């Protein structure tokens, strides 16, 4: 039965929410639907975590729990199934998504045209949830694109500033990425067959490991770039600053918090998982690109004056670190990458929520035109400082554990490579990436100093009010999550690490043997 | 024991959370009392723990031969990187951590107490954010305590960062003042830059330890084993855990160990770690944040930027000292950096007007003393001016000085705070001749000055004397250099003292508003610290704190006096007295001598007064080079080249669209032409290709 | 003669019956009763459409008239797809047909339309060029008359003269090509031609091939044979445009596949594979480039349909059942998507006479439902999930890549990149309707029952056709049983 | 002199070419239609000739020609009707004047 599998509810609940919102008559009902739905999703993912942590290994199919497959397009060896299954990483991502949807609902408490807004927002999250539970390349890709297109309208209609341009640019660039991706996926489908039996099933493809090396060299860049565009990999990141700057609050939150994670998730779950040989051989190309992303984004952020641009570039830097760590192809660094995804997701959502709330009051995002907000809206300002601290890697908050794990893992890999005579690329880029912690501190403190501290710049701002209860709830939730990861990292790392067991993740095993 | 240990960390943390979250709803007074009480309890606990460690004679802490042992009270996994490496959080008791517990809790408690008075104005109106202030103080105390009891280098790094952040918050306490904001930013970023070195150093160390050992790196990384490295000829290490210790030792001594630019990678690692220490301890050239950090409230300066946080660098080197012992090159670097910094800071301190800045530079200079002292420590037997030097004396001296310096420097800062609070200005030009108005402050300040100048029997004398002895034992050049710096120290401290309390009569406009001693909350800590500063010199450090736990002196009250190297003591005393006398001559009474000297060497004055233009240099590097030549071009590149390329795709598509629109001319003839050409081309091209 | 053969031509015969009924009613009904003509036609055709879904051919394929005519489940399927499209066109055209200007001639419209549909049936089923040419001409000549249907609009005349001149020219070229084929093989049966030219290619064959491709490419509006498309689509009455853009194109695509596969499969790699690559790239790219600039919605959709034709062609490349199924499915989805778009355009045109994209600004505020339908249509055309267009695009790309060479990857990549351009201009429409802040040009109005019915059907199709996998699975099963390959 | 297929085919091709040329150069629509007739007739000739000379045993080509003639007639009739229509609307049958819809 379709509904006997718990995972399907991650898609089903958003769909019900869609229906619910469509039937709503006023904003109160819409809020209720959004909040109830997203709370249910959080509960569901929490339940999943609890179950996962005590589930016996035998229940898993290649590390995937709740594995189940339903026929969809199956005529004539097409073999498109609706295959679901989760491992620790997917669960972590599901939890992240539901939390951000929850907080995003609160952040858009008083949005204009709420019905349409929530419809699109929930459609977007349907895509996100579907993507994370899917184990079938086709389904995965479908949900991936479902998550992309609502962005256009969400930014276009509810955005601000140069929204037409940004929305179009974002959509086209991301779709451009998915064009490469689609080609890559179809290529994988055709070249992974054993005995003429084609399959879209991720696990089967990985198990067969039948893609020839030459084809891996062709398909790996396709898929990696395809997902990398969404992961804001240099030089395909340029949609991100404009897109984030124009998007409304909840959309920025969801986009930076969750959608960009789709990119990183896809990179390892599809590109590296299915094509281990190419992942090992071609990692250096992308390592250079992502290494550049890390410092490049950070440096760019240093001189921006628009709050959202600063944060968008910081996302480029942090998400660059995710891909960077994934490309280290070792368990520690990749675990760190996922931690960084979680951490960045929550913290950047917090940032965007706060920026949205500040912008909603001051009607400007130019840091040169604001100042001394700590005096005017202390709650928001304190939250901003906390977010900033998380971003620059203060221990006790999530950023530190993620970055530390990444650095330890990458350094280990870099030195191993170096000592094995395999070049010092990883080592050099690890050191370069480490430098980002300083640059991050520079731009974070620059903003905090200019925006929150110092004398009040604009006298009109003195009349502004502090956060409302829904804004407090939204930000407090995120802060609690950020602190939870920061204080109890082992809980989350234990969730994640299983995915990158060399026995399951062939690329790591290859890298180790090398 | 374990309960006390947990409570020592937990009370300040909980206090931070409570005051941070609920402080707004508490009356100011209660927030202050609560914070102070919390810290008081912590202090008592720390005292009991330290007392138990040093004096109980428990076999956990001291072995049969009287060697002190390292004891891990608890140690829990916090973050597993991989099966061999994880971060543990724990509580390590050994001589230096027990000593630091005492120092930190004492000073912190004094500052908590003192702030009750300091953080309100003469009419008793509380500073805005008073509760926040106490929350931050608690956070800082928690971080600092966590740092000193760290069981491993990762834990140290974690709390190291937390200390940095709480320092940031406290320096920027007056957040509406732009100078405070930029000072806090500067402090954070400079130390962060240093931490980058620390981080990479840790990574290098952790990798090599893991690479060469089959065992668990986490265990190896616990200080108990990191510092139990057997050193040639000396067996008395804390606790030899063979496997990992042997690995580390091999790493250093194995000629096959990897080299990088002529030095072993491990030496590099230690130098990088020392870079972290340079940042926190404000060694040149990373010292520039400390003088600016005086923008924070004065009690904060006393707590963080005089007594505790800034010595974290020294503590770090001391922690890893057995490792440094195996990399003499790293120690030499520490010596040179320390010596240069000491002189530099002392010179600059002579030309400052702001009393807190003088104290700040004196702090830098004194910490440099400790660094030098560590840097000159070797285990070979050496002789200083005819007397044999105890093995590892420098280490002991450094820790001793750390201890005494914390006391008298906190005293000086709190005294300065009292003055500032009374006068409302940081400049000595606004003070002069205050001795009659603020007698308690005057006396305590004088005690502090005497202590730092190294006049017998004040605390500073003993510790500084040991340092100089250690220097003489290692290298006469550095010893003389440091002795001169000690003289300068005496000079600038008494310059400050005379300019504040003498020089000329204080002008009082209104009897009611004449400066006066502060309330008991402020004077009590002064008095207590003054008393400590007088007697701290007699603490038998040689029997309590040594690099390997092996006592080098007896434990009597007068041990320090008995063990004095009198030749060295004489030199340092003479130099100090000369310094004081010159200061007295120049500054006791208003006279034109200082002016004359300034005019005689204007360049020297300018350079000293402007701190050798380091700030300007940094300003140039950060703003012109980093921002102007890196950030801006990158941002430009992003907007115009990368973005431009993407936009160009769109523009080209549009252009192409316009360019080819002529084909759709609306003319049937044209349509047919194109049709025909298409068909014929299709045929001919295929024919050419196929046939 | 075995008259039972006609039973196998059930669909054609039934269509003729419908045609006759309509014709007779139009001729003999009293003037007052003529108002019911539109309704009657829709109902009759609806019944016919539903009836056709009952399986008529069970086996793989059946030949009639010595193999001149063939029918098989997949052929019945494509005809059904066309029927559904025509039914929707008919429903959507009711308003237009009943308007004052056309009311007197609406009978002719229906009759011409049904005749062209009959011609298309023949094109699809023909296995002999004589039958094919009859089908082709009867599918295209009446269309010229239909294009000229709006007597009072100048554009209509211009469109029809352009159409007839180029169409006849094209059929002359096509016939020339056919004569070469005949000269080479001595037969006009597809199967015999295919057998005869199994040998190596000759210049004459290549010429013949190029001319045949040009001739059918004209109907499909492949670049560079597409130039009539935009003008005709713009000038023709909107129901005719929608009919032209989906039904005519769908049938031509299928016929094209049959001709290429049955007659010329022997010289696939040697000759027409590369021709097709070039045509596909040109068609998709040029169609897109032209579409970017268009402001007139009909002209805009004309160019969009040009580029869609390129995607349809991808189904031919694979030369297997999967490609065939993907193509049929693509046409089906395209029918629904494009007709949804045209449905909205018609509804607005009938009420306000506006067809400019700029007039659509702020449409979502005054007519949210119409804008919603339009948006879904645009998303589906652009291939956005979960709408049907995504599935059809995915399947057609998948089937094309089945061919396996690296060249096909490049081709598909170009096609995929072109989807980005197409997404851009489809989003322009969405932007005009939803994002533009200007005051709406079009007033709020209530569309008629038939408009709403048509749009409901198409929107339901757009949403369901993809997700409900039965449709594609069914088509794929039918295609795999086809005897074409 | 033996008459072979080429003797017929070459004039036929010339006819076709003339037709194309006329179609492309003449601006009068009636003249264009005449050119079209030329093209169609050359095709008819081709079919007949191929049938007669290459495949004399069958009648496919012949019949095809018959049909083609009929279709050509239908085309012409329709085209002329439309030309008349255009003339009414435009007072002109110059093909270059009917290019209001372009780009």
Residue B230 has pLDDT above 50, yes or no: no
Beta bridge partners of B263: B260
Whether ipTM > 0.90 holds is yes
Those residues with Cβ within 8 angstroms of residue A492's Cβ, 6 or more apart along the chain or in another chain? A92, A339, A342, A485
Percent of chain A with pLDDT over 90: 52
Q: Which residue has the higher pLDDT, C306 or B32?
A: C306
Tell me the C-alpha to C-alpha distance, in Å, between residue B93 and each of A11, B310, B582, B593, C144: 54, 21, 45, 53, 98
pLDDT digits (tens, 9 = 90+) for A236-246: 998 988 898 88
| Count of domains observed in chain C | 1
The pLDDT score that the predictor gives to residue B260 is 66
pLDDT digits (tens, 9 = 90+) for C96-124: 998 888 888 889 999 999 999 999 999 99
B679 touches chain C (CB under 8 A): yes
Averaged pLDDT, D32-42: 93
- Determine, for residues D96 and B669 on separate chains, whether the beta-carbon distance falls below 8 Å: yes
The pLDDT score that the predictor gives to residue B229 is 46
Q: Which residue has the higher pLDDT, A288 or B538?
A: A288
Which residues numbered 609-668 in B keep a CB inside 8 Å of some CB on A? 626-627, 630-632, 634-635, 638, 642-643, 645-646, 650
* Touching chains, B (3+ CB pairs < 8 A): A, C, D
**With bands split at pLDDT 50, 70 and 90, how would you rate the model's confidence at C212?**
very high
Which range is least confidently modeled, A171-175, D36-40, D95-99? D95-99
- Determine, for residues D24 and B665 on separate chains, whether the beta-carbon distance falls below 8 Å: no
The pLDDT score that the predictor gives to residue B234 is 42
The pLDDT score that the predictor gives to residue A169 is 92
- Determine, for residues C476 and A149 on separate chains, whether the beta-carbon distance falls below 8 Å: no
pLDDT digits (tens, 9 = 90+) for B337-351: 999 999 988 888 888
- Determine, for residues C137 and D74 on separate chains, whether the beta-carbon distance falls below 8 Å: yes
D96 touches chain B (CB under 8 A): yes
Q: Scanning every residue of chain B, which has its alpha carbon at the shortest distance from the alpha carbon of D32? A: B669
The pLDDT score that the predictor gives to residue B222 is 64
Chain B residues closer than 8 Å to A493 by CB: 79-80
The pLDDT score that the predictor gives to residue A14 is 94
Touch criterion met for D and B (3+ Cβ pairs within 8 Å):
yes
| Percent helix, percent strand, percent coil in chain B, to nearest 5 | 70, 5, 20
pLDDT digits (tens, 9 = 90+) for A312-332: 999 999 999 999 999 988 888
What is the extent of the structural domain holding C394? 5-480
The pLDDT score that the predictor gives to residue B627 is 85
φ/ψ (deg, to 5) at C70 = -135, 145
- Determine, for residues C130 and D82 on separate chains, whether the beta-carbon distance falls below 8 Å: no
* Touching chains, D (3+ CB pairs < 8 A): B, C
Which range is least confidently modeled, B506-515, B611-620, C226-235? B506-515
Please give the Cα distance from C283 to C223 (Å, whole number): 5
The pLDDT score that the predictor gives to residue A495 is 87
The pLDDT score that the predictor gives to residue C431 is 92
Touch criterion met for B and A (3+ Cβ pairs within 8 Å):
yes
Length reported for chain D:
103
Chain B residues closer than 8 Å to C201 by CB: 690-691
Beta bridge partners of B231: B234
pLDDT digits (tens, 9 = 90+) for B419-461: 888 877 777 777 777 777 788 888 888 888 888 888 888 888 8
Averaged pLDDT, A26-33: 92
CB B254 within 8 A of CB B309: no
Q: Is D86 exposed, middle or buried (0-12, 13-18, 19+ CB in 10 A)?
A: buried
Those residues with Cβ within 8 angstroms of residue B640's Cβ, 6 or more apart along the chain or in another chain? none
Q: Scanning every residue of chain C, which has its alpha carbon at the shortest distance from the alpha carbon of D28? A: C165
Averaged pLDDT, B195-201: 90
- Determine, for residues A75 and C473 on separate chains, whether the beta-carbon distance falls below 8 Å: yes
**Is the full-model pTM beyond 0.80?**
yes
B182 touches chain A (CB under 8 A): yes
Residue B285 has pLDDT above 90, yes or no: no
| Strand, coil or helix: C4 | coil
Percent of chain B with pLDDT over 70: 90
Residue C291 has pLDDT above 90, yes or no: yes
- Determine, for residues B665 and D102 on separate chains, whether the beta-carbon distance falls below 8 Å: yes
Strands (E), A400-467: none
pLDDT digits (tens, 9 = 90+) for B587-597: 777 787 777 87
pLDDT digits (tens, 9 = 90+) for C373-420: 999 999 999 999 889 999 999 999 999 998 888 889 999 999 999 999
Which residues numbered 251-270 in B keep a CB inside 8 Å of some CB on A? 258
Half-sphere exposure in the Cβ direction for A119 (13 Å, CA): 13
- Domain range summary for chain A, segments of one domain joined by +: 2-512
pLDDT digits (tens, 9 = 90+) for B58-70: 877 877 777 787 7
Please give the Cα distance from A103 to A122 (Å, whole number): 13
- Mind telling me how many Å the CA of D99 is from chain C's nearest CA? 8
**With bands split at pLDDT 50, 70 and 90, how would you rate the model's confidence at A75?**
confident
Q: Which residue has the higher pLDDT, A403 or B219?
A: A403
Chain B residues closer than 8 Å to C162 by CB: 668, 671
Residue B296 has pLDDT above 50, yes or no: yes
pLDDT digits (tens, 9 = 90+) for C346-386: 999 988 888 999 999 989 989 999 999 999 999 999 999 88
Residue C143 has pLDDT above 50, yes or no: yes
Please give the Cα distance from B88 to B221 (Å, whole number): 10
B123 touches chain D (CB under 8 A): no
**With bands split at pLDDT 50, 70 and 90, how would you rate the model's confidence at B117?**
confident
Averaged pLDDT, D71-94: 91
- Determine, for residues B672 and D99 on separate chains, whether the beta-carbon distance falls below 8 Å: no
Q: Does the residue C35 lie in any domain?
A: yes
Please give the Cα distance from C389 to C466 (Å, whole number): 7
Q: At which residue do the structure tokens 């929550």 appear?
A: A346
B124 touches chain D (CB under 8 A): no
- Determine, for residues B176 and A442 on separate chains, whether the beta-carbon distance falls below 8 Å: no
Averaged pLDDT, C477-481: 88
Helix (H) or strand (E) holding C54: none
CB neighbours (10 Å) of residue C483?
Answer: 13
B172 touches chain A (CB under 8 A): yes
Q: Scanning every residue of chain B, which has its alpha carbon at the shortest distance from the alpha carbon of A418? A: B258
Chain D residues closer than 8 Å to C164 by CB: 75, 78-79, 82
Residue B198 has pLDDT above 70, yes or no: yes
A402 touches chain B (CB under 8 A): no
The pLDDT score that the predictor gives to residue B236 is 40
Q: Scanning every residue of chain C, which has its alpha carbon at the shortest distance from the alpha carbon of B650? A: C421
- Mind telling me how many Å the CA of A359 is from chain B's nearest CA? 21
- Determine, for residues D102 and B668 on separate chains, whether the beta-carbon distance falls below 8 Å: no
The pLDDT score that the predictor gives to residue B560 is 75
Which residues numbered 140-159 in C keep a CB inside 8 Å of some CB on D? 141, 144-145, 148, 151, 154-155, 157-159
Mean predicted lDDT score pLDDT of chain B: 82
Please give the Cα distance from B367 to B416 (Å, whole number): 19
Which residues numbered 406-465 in A keep a CB inside 8 Å of some CB on B? 407-409, 411-412, 415-416, 419, 430-431, 434-435, 437-438, 441-442, 445-446, 449, 452-455
Q: Does the residue C341 lie in any domain?
A: yes
Chain C residues closer than 8 Å to B661 by CB: 290, 293
Alpha-helical runs (H) found in B129-241: 130-148, 153-171, 178-212, 217-221, 223-226
- Furthest-apart CA atoms within chain A: distance in Å: 75
Averaged pLDDT, B143-148: 91
Q: Does the residue C372 lie in any domain?
A: yes
The pLDDT score that the predictor gives to residue C57 is 57
Please give the Cα distance from B376 to B330 (Å, whole number): 11
Secondary structure, 3-state, chain D: CCCCHHHHHHHHHHHHHHHHHHHHHCCEHHHHHHHHHHHHHHHHHHHHHHHHHHCCCCCHHHHHHHHHHHHHHHHHHHHHHHHHHHHHHHCCCEHHHCCCCCC
Please give the Cα distance from B22 to B39 (Å, whole number): 18
- Determine, for residues D95 and B668 on separate chains, whether the beta-carbon distance falls below 8 Å: yes
DSSP one-letter string for B419-464 = HHHHHS-SBGGG-SSGGGT-HHHHHHHHHHHHHHHT-TTSHHHHHH
Please give the Cα distance from A346 to A96 (Å, whole number): 7
The pLDDT score that the predictor gives to residue D25 is 92
Residue C286 has pLDDT above 90, yes or no: yes
**With bands split at pLDDT 50, 70 and 90, how would you rate the model's confidence at B620?**
confident
The pLDDT score that the predictor gives to residue C250 is 93
A329 touches chain B (CB under 8 A): no
**With bands split at pLDDT 50, 70 and 90, how would you rate the model's confidence at B233?**
very low
Residue A222 has pLDDT above 70, yes or no: yes
Structure tokens at C229: 């498309």
- Mind telling me how many Å the CA of B662 is from chain C's nearest CA? 11
Residue C455 has pLDDT above 50, yes or no: yes
Q: Scanning every residue of chain B, which has its alpha carbon at the shortest distance from the alpha carbon of C267? A: B690
Residue C91 has pLDDT above 90, yes or no: yes
Instruction: Tell which of B647, B682, B687, B689 to mutate to test the C interface (max C CBs under 10 Å).
Output: B682
Chain D residues closer than 8 Å to C155 by CB: 100-101
A375 touches chain B (CB under 8 A): yes
Query: Considering only CB atoms, which residues of chain D are within 8 Å of chain C?
Result: 16, 19, 23, 29, 32, 36, 39-40, 42-43, 46-47, 50-51, 54-55, 58, 60-61, 63-64, 67-68, 71, 74-75, 78-79, 81-83, 85-86, 89-90, 95, 98-103
- Mind telling me how many Å the CA of A446 is from chain C's nearest CA? 35
Chain B residues closer than 8 Å to C166 by CB: 668, 671-672, 675
The pLDDT score that the predictor gives to residue B238 is 40
Residue B71 has pLDDT above 90, yes or no: no
The pLDDT score that the predictor gives to residue B240 is 38
- Determine, for residues B671 and C292 on separate chains, whether the beta-carbon distance falls below 8 Å: no
Q: Scanning every residue of chain C, which has its alpha carbon at the shortest distance from the alpha carbon of D20? A: C169
Please give the Cα distance from C74 to C57 (Å, whole number): 10
Tell me the C-alpha to C-alpha distance, in Å, between residue C134 and each of A256, B355, C118: 60, 107, 10
- Mind telling me how many Å the CA of C393 is from chain A's nearest CA? 11
């Amino acid at each position: 039965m379709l509904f006997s599998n718990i995972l399907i509810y991650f898609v089903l609940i958003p769909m019900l929410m869609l229906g619910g919102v469509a039937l709503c008559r006023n904003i109160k009902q819409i809020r209720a639907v959004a909040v109830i739905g997203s709370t249910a999703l959080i509960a569901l993912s929490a339940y999943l975590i609890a179950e996962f942590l005590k589930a016996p290994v035998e229940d898993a199919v290649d590390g995937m729990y709740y594995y189940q497959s339903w026929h969809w397009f199956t005529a004539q060896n097409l073999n498109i199934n609706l295959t679901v299954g989760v491992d620790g990483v997917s669960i972590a991502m599901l939890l992240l998504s539901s939390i951000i949807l929850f907080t995003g609902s609160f952040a858009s408490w008083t949005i204009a045209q709420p019905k349409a807004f929530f419809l699109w927002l929930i459609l977007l999250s349907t895509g996100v949830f579907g993507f994370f539970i899917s184990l079938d390349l086709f389904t995965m890709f479908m949900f991936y694109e479902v998550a992309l297109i609502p962005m256009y309208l969400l930014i276009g209609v509810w955005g601000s500033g140069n929204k037409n341009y940004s929305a179009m640019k974002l959509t086209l660039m991301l779709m451009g990425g998915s064009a490469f991706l689609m080609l890559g996926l179809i290529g994988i489908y055709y070249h992974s067959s054993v005995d003429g039996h084609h399959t879209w099933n991720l696990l089967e493809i990985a198990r067969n490991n039948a893609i020839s090396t030459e084809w891996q060299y062709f398909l790996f860049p396709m898929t990696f770039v395809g997902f990398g565009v969404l992961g804001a990999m240099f030089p395909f990141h340029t949609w991100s600053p404009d897109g984030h700057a124009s998007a409304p609050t909840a959309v920025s939150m969801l986009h930076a918090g969750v959608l960009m994670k789709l990119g990183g998730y896809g990179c390892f779950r599809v590109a590296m998982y299915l094509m281990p040989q190419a992942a090992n051989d071609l990692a250096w190309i992308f390592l250079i690109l992502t290494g550049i992303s890390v410092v490049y984004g950070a440096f760019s952020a240093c001189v921006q004056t628009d709050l959202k641009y600063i944060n968008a570039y910081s996302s480029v830097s942090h998400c660059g670190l995710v891909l960077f760590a994934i490309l280290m192809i070792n368990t520690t660094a990749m675990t760190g990458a996922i931690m960084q995804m979680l951490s960045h997701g929550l913290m950047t959502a917090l940032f965007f929520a706060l920026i949205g709330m500040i912008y909603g009051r001051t009607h400007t995002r130019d840091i040169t035109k604001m100042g001394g907000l700590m005096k005017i809206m202390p709650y928001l300002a304190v939250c901003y400082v906390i977010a900033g601290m998380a971003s620059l890697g203060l221990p006790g908050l999530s950023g530190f554990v993620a970055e530390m794990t990444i650095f330890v893992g990458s350094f280990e890999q870099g030195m191993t490579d170096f000592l094995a005579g395999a070049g010092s690329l990883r080592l050099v880029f690890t050191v370069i990436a480490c430098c980002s912690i300083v640059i991050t501190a520079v731009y974070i403190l620059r903003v905090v100093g200019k925006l929150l501290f110092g004398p009040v710049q604009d006298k009109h701002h003195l009349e502004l009010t502090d956060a409302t209860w829904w804004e407090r709830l939204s930000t407090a939730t995120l802060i609690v999550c950020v602190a939870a990861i920061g204080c109890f990292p082992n809980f989350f790392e234990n969730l994640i690490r299983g995915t990158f067991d060399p026995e399951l993740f062939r690329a790591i095993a290859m890298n180790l043997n090398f | 024991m374990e309960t006390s240990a947990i409570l020592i960390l937990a009370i300040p943390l909980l206090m931070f959370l409570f005051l941070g979250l609920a402080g707004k709803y508490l009356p100011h007074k209660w927030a202050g009392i609560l914070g102070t009480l919390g810290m008081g309890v912590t202090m008592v606990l720390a005292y009991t723990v330290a007392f138990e460690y040093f004096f109980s004679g428990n076999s956990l802490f001291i072995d049969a031969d009287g060697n002190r042992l390292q004891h891990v009270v608890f140690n829990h996994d916090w973050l597993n990187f991989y099966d061999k490496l994880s971060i543990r959080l724990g509580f390590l008791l050994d001589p230096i951590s027990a000593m630091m517990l005492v120092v930190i809790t004492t000073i912190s408690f004094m500052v908590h107490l003192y702030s009750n008075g300091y953080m309100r104005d003469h009419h008793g109106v509380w500073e805005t954010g008073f509760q926040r202030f106490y929350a931050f103080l608690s956070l800082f105390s928690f971080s600092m305590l966590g740092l000193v009891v760290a069981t491993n280098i990762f834990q140290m790094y974690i709390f190291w960062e937390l200390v940095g952040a709480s320092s940031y918050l406290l320096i920027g306490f007056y957040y509406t003042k732009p100078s405070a904001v930029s000072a806090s930013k500067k402090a954070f970023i400079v130390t962060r830059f240093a931490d980058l070195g620390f981080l990479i150093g840790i990574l290098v160390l952790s990798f090599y330890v893991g690479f060469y050992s089959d065992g668990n790196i986490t265990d190896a990384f616990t200080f108990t084993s990191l510092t139990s490295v057997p050193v040639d000829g000396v067996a008395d290490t804390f606790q030899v855990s063979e496997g990992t210790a042997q690995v580390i030792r091999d790493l250093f001594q194995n000629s096959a160990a990897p080299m990088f630019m002529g030095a072993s990678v491990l030496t590099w690692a230690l130098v990088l770690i020392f870079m972290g220490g340079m940042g926190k301890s404000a060694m040149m050239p990373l010292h520039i944040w400390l003088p600016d950090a005086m923008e924070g409230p004065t009690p904060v300066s006393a707590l963080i930027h005089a007594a505790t946080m800034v010595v974290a660098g020294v503590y770090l080197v001391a922690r890893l000292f057995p490792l440094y012992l195996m990399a003499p090159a790293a120690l030499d670097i520490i010596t040179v950096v320390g010596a240069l910094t000491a002189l530099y800071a002392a010179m600059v301190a002579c030309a400052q007007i702001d009393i807190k800045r003088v104290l700040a530079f004196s702090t830098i200079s004194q910490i440099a003393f400790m660094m030098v002292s560590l840097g000159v420590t070797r285990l070979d037997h050496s002789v200083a001016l005819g007397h044999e030097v105890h093995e590892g004396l420098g280490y002991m001296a450094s820790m001793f000085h750390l201890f005494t310096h914390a006391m008298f420097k906190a005293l000086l800062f709190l005294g300065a705070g009292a003055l500032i609070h009374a006068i409302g200005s940081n400049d000595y030009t606004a003070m002069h001749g205050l001795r009659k108005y603020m007698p308690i402050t005057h006396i305590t300040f004088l005690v502090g000055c005497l202590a730092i100048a190294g006049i017998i029997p004040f605390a500073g004398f003993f510790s500084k004397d040991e340092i100089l002895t250690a220097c003489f034992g290692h290298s006469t050049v550095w010893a003389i250099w440091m002795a001169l710096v000690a003289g300068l120290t005496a000079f600038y401290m008494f310059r400050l003292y005379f300019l504040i309390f003498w020089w000329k009569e204080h002008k009082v406009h209104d009897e009611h508003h004449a400066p006066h001693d502060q309330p008991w909350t402020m004077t009590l800590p002064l008095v207590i610290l003054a008393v400590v500063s007088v007697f701290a010199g007699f603490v038998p450090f040689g029997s309590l704190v040594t690099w390997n736990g092996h006592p080098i002196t007896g434990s009597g009250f007068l041990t320090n006096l008995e063990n004095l190297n009198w030749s060295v003591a004489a030199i340092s005393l003479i130099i100090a007295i000369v310094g004081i006398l010159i200061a007295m001559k120049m500054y006791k009474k208003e006279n034109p001598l200082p002016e004359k000297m300034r005019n005689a060497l204007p360049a020297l004055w300018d350079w000293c007064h402007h701190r050798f233009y380091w700030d300007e240099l940094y300003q140039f590097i950060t703003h012109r080079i980093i921002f102007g030549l890196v950030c801006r071009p990158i941002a430009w590149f992003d907007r115009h080249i990368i973005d431009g390329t993407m936009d160009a795709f769109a523009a080209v598509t549009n252009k192409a669209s316009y360019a080819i629109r002529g084909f759709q001319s609306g003319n049937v003839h044209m349509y047919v032409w194109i049709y025909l050409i298409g068909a014929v081309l299709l045929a001919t091209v295929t024919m050419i290709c196929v046939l | 003669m075995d008259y039972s053969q006609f039973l196998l031509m059930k669909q054609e015969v039934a269509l003729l019956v419908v045609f006759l009924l309509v014709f007779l009613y139009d001729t003999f009904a009293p003037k007052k009763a003529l108002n019911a003509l539109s309704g009657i036609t829709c109902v009759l055709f609806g019944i016919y459409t539903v009836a056709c879904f009952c399986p008529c051919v069970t086996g793989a394929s059946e030949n009639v008239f010595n193999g001149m005519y063939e029918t098989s489940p997949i052929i019945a399927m494509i005809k059904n797809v066309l029927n559904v499209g025509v039914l929707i066109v008919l429903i959507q055209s009711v308003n237009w047909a009943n308007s004052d200007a056309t009311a007197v001639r609406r009978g002719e419209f229906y009759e011409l339309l049904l005749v062209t549909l009959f011609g298309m049936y023949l094109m699809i089923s023909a296995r002999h060029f004589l039958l094919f040419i009859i089908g082709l001409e009867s599918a295209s000549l009446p269309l010229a008359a239909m294009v000229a249907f709006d007597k009072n609009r100048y554009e209509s005349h211009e469109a029809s003269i352009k159409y007839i001149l180029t169409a006849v020219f094209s059929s002359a070229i096509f016939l020339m090509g056919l004569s070469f084929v005949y000269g080479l093989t001595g037969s006009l049966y597809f199967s015999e031609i295919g057998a005869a030219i199994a040998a190596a290619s000759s210049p004459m064959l290549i010429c013949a091939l190029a001319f045949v491709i040009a001739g059918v490419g004209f109907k499909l509006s492949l670049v560079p044979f597409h130039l009539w498309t935009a003008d005709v689509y713009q000038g023709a009455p909107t129901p005719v445009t929608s009919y032209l853009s989906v039904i005519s194109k769908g049938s031509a695509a299928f016929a094209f596949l049959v001709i290429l596969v049955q007659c010329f499969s022997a010289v696939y790699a040697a000759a027409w594979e590369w021709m097709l690559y070039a045509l596909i790239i040109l068609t998709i790219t040029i169609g897109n480039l032209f579409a970017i600039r268009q402001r007139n919605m009909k002209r805009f959709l004309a160019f969009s349909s040009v580029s869609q034709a390129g995607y349809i062609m991808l189904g031919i490349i694979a030369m297997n059942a999967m490609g065939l199924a993907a193509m049929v499915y693509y046409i089906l989805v395209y029918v629904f998507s494009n007709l949804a778009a045209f449905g909205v355009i018609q509804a607005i045109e009938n009420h306000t006479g506006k067809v400019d994209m700029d007039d659509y600004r702020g449409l979502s505020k005054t007519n949210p439902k119409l804008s919603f339908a339009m948006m879904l249509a645009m998303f589906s055309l652009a291939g956005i999930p979960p709408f049907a267009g995504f599935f059809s695009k995915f399947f057609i790309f998948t089937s094309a890549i089945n061919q396996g060479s690296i060249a096909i990857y490049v081709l598909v990549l170009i096609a995929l990149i072109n989807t980005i351009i197409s997404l851009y201009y489809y989003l322009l429409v969405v932007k005009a309707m939803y994002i533009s802040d200007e005051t709406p040009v079009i007033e709020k109005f209530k569309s008629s029952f038939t408009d709403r019915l048509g749009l409901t059907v198409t929107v339901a199709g757009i949403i369901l056709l993809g997700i409900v996998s039965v449709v594609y699975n069914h088509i794929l099963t039918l295609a795999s049983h086809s005897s074409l390959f | 002199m033996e008459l072979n297929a080429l003797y017929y085919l070459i004039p036929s091709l010339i006819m076709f070419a003339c037709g194309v040329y006329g179609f492309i150069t003449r601006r009068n629509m009636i003249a264009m239609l005449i050119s079209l007739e030329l093209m169609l007739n050359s095709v008819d000739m081709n079919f007949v000739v191929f049938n007669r000379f290459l495949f004399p045993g069958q009648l496919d080509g012949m019949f095809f020609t018959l049909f083609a003639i009929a279709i050509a007639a239908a085309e012409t009739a329709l085209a002329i009707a439309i030309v008349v229509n255009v003339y009414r609307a435009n007072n002109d049958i110059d093909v270059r004047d009917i290019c209001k819809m372009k780009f």
